[in-house]
Every structure is written in structure tokens, then in C-alpha cells.
Amino acid sequence: MKIKAAVISETGGDFNIEQLELCEPNADEVLVHIVSVGICHTDLGARDGYLPIPSPPSVFGHEGAGVVKKVGSRVTKVKPGDHVVLAWDYCGTCSSCKAGKVLYCKNFFLHNFHGARPDDTATLRKGDQIIHGSFFCQSSFADFALANERNTVKVRDDVPLEVLAPLGCGVMTGTGAVMNSLQAKPETSIAIFGTGAVGMSAILGAVICGCTTIIAVDVNADRLKMAKELGATHTVNAGKVNTVEAIREMTGGGVEYSLECVGNPKVLRQAVDVLARLGVCGLVGVVPPGTEVSFDMDFLMNGRTVKGVLGGDAVPDLFIPKMIDLYSQGRFPFDRLITFYPFDDINKAVEDMKKGLVIKPILRL
């Protein structure tokens, strides 16, 4: 079928809206009419060549939300008309998947970054030319996307679908890191480094967990103000004070949990240095492969843990509906992070995100 998609033709180039041809769904696939799609830093990393993915032309987009249009013959999870949020894909058969740790799938690359289906067949074409698609098994910067039944999450249809898009990656990553990975206990303290979409979502998660001290760290005063509105009890402007000293002082020696949402070795070092004994630091910020960091070994030895976290350690089929329940109860206002743009304004949305003018841009199809 003919679709409208935002195509990257050269590494680092602009998105161009073009008409492409999308395959019919295979037996285990779902054709989704995309209503909205969030823009995530991973899309820009892919565009700018920082991810190990095939060269352009490509269609990215991995925070799609929409309505099921058509399903393959073996699909039982959803039917046409269902509202869905698309998440990360996984193989379902490796030891990580079988243990319920689907975001640590051993075949993750093949199912998310391969530029085609895992069996190498392409889903997108322009005339005779193959366009790399299947990005996170969706390539949802388009009005229609092909997902697998696995990464298609059915959601309730009594909440506005267009706000749900970022639950499939950014929001799930931040909130899940606190709720699932750190499993922050009530009456504890947490320091969250970075107040982009992931860090803000982590603050919302910390509120739900009942953390009594929630410290937001950033260099952007406007973001810190918003962090307070979302539930941060303290803020630290890292551009103005010694972050580690400030947090140790606020907490009488250190926090029980910290979360690095920036993707910077110096920030990770700070996030570890603010831990109290037995404290746990979650690492969420993405860095290029090969990035190294140093720690004080003696300091770490006092029961402190550094833990890498992908996708908020979530099982998307279970966690995304729970986040939506919390949202509908008014306890999870992640929609405060969103700014909507028309699909045709994708390049402006990217620019505004890079300038820090918006937290989570969402394209309306």
C-alpha cells in the first residue's frame, strides 16, 4: 500500500516527507494506522550515524501509537479497530526472553536495528529502491507502520490515543527504571540526573513509589522548575553549585538511589558519588560504544551498586497498560511533557527538541 513517511536519505540529513510502498502484513504482523509518534534521541542517533544500523535511505520512528488496520493470519492479540502502542521488539525464544527480560533479548539487533525484518525481507520500497525500515520493528515516522504481534501492545480505548505514543520508549524507560529496576521503596531518597523526557518520567515514577526526597539535577532552570511541579522535592542546578556536595548536604550523606539519564561519564561518576552506603545507581543515559568511566573502588566496595537499565526493565505488554491506568486516575501526568507538532513539521520538532525548547515532541499524523 502507498504510505506517507519521513525519509532520511543521507546520514545527518533532514527528514523528507515522501510517498513509499509498504508491504502487506505477514502472518505474525500487524498493520497500524499511526495516529501519533514521539521523537526520541535514539531516532536522532540513528539519523546521525551513531547507531550500528544500515546506511540510509531509512525510515525511523519508534514511539508509534495508532489503530490496528489489518492483522496477519496468525495474529490473535489484536484485531482491526483496536488501539495500540508500539514498543521494542524481541525474539521471544532466547534465554533472556524466556526469563521475561525481553528488553535484553540476545537477538535485539536483528529485531530492532536490522533495517528489515529478521529474515532480511524489506518492508519499504520507493519504486525499485529498497528503503530501510522495521526500525524497532515499526518505523513509525509514517501514516502506516508494520509491527510484529510481539511489540504491539493493546491499550484501553477510553483515553486519548495521541498522548500515549511515548509510553513505548521514553516514558517507559524513565518510569520503569525507578519502579522496576531500582524498585525504589517508600520513604527513601533518589537523585535524578537529567530532566529530559526520561528524567521527568523517572520523577513521576519516584512519586508513585513514595520516595520522600526526590532531587532533580540539571543545568536548565526552566526544566528544574517543571521538575518541581511534577514532584521533585529538591533541585540542584549543576551549572551553579557543586552537585555532589549539594546532594550530600541535602540528604545528610547521600541518597539511596540515583539515576543517570544524561549519557555522560562525568555525570555517571557524580550519580555514583552521591550514593549512601548500599545505594544503587541506575544507568539509563545512552553513550556511544567504547565510552569509559572511572570510579573510586573503595567507595564502591561499601555496598554500592551501578546497574545498567534498558527500557525501564519493563515487560511492555504489562507495564504500558499499567502506566495508562495511572494516567487515567490522574496520578501520572506524563502528558505535561508533550508538545504536539503536525507531521510535516518534523524537522522543526527535532530542532526545538535539540535546543531544549520542548521535552517530548509528538508528531500528529
Distances 359 to 55, 202, 237 between C-alpha atoms, Å: 28, 14, 18
Handedness of CA 249, 253, 256, 262 (dihedral sign): positive
Residue 165, classed as helix, strand or coil, is helix
Restricted to residues 210-269, the positions that interact with Zn ion (CB under 5 A) are: none
Query: Which CB, 42 or 213, lies closer to Zn ion?
Result: 42
Cα R_g (the chain), whole angstroms: 20
Distance CA 273, CA 255 (A): 10
**Cα 349 to Cα 156: distance, rounded to the nearest angstrom:** 28
Write down the least CB distance from residue 17 to Zn ion, Å. Answer: 21
Q: Does 314 bind Zn ion (CB under 5 A)?
A: no
Kindly state the number of chain residues that form the binding site for Zn ion, as judged by CB under 5 A.
Answer: 8
Q: How many other C-beta atoms lie within 10 A of the C-beta of residue 41?
A: 18
Contact flag: residue 201 with Zn ion (CB under 5 A): no
Amino acid, res. 355: K
Per-position x/- string for 18-57, each x denoting binding to Zn ion as judged by CB under 5 A, each - no binding: ----------------------x-x---------------
65 binds Zn ion (CB under 5 A): no
Of residues 90 and 257, the one with the C-beta less far from Zn ion: 90
Least distance in Å: CB of 90 to Zn ion?
A: 5
The span of 75-83, 104-112, 208-216, 227-235 binding Zn ion (CB under 5 A) equals 104-112
Q: Is the dihedral of CA 88, 152, 96, 258 positive or negative?
A: positive
Pairing between β-strand 64-71 and β-strand 29-38 as defined by DSSP bridges: antiparallel
Q: Which of residues 70-99 bind Zn ion (CB under 5 A)?
A: 90-91, 94, 97
Interface with Zn ion (CB under 5 A), residue from 105, 200, 309, 365: 105
Whose Cβ is closer to Zn ion: residue 63's or residue 143's?
63
Strands 213-218 and 29-38: unpaired
Q: Does 112 bind Zn ion (CB under 5 A)?
A: no
Please identify which residue in 35, 85, 142, 169 interacts with Zn ion, judged by CB under 5 A: 169
Binding footprint of Zn ion on the chain (CB under 5 A)? 40, 42, 90-91, 94, 97, 105, 169
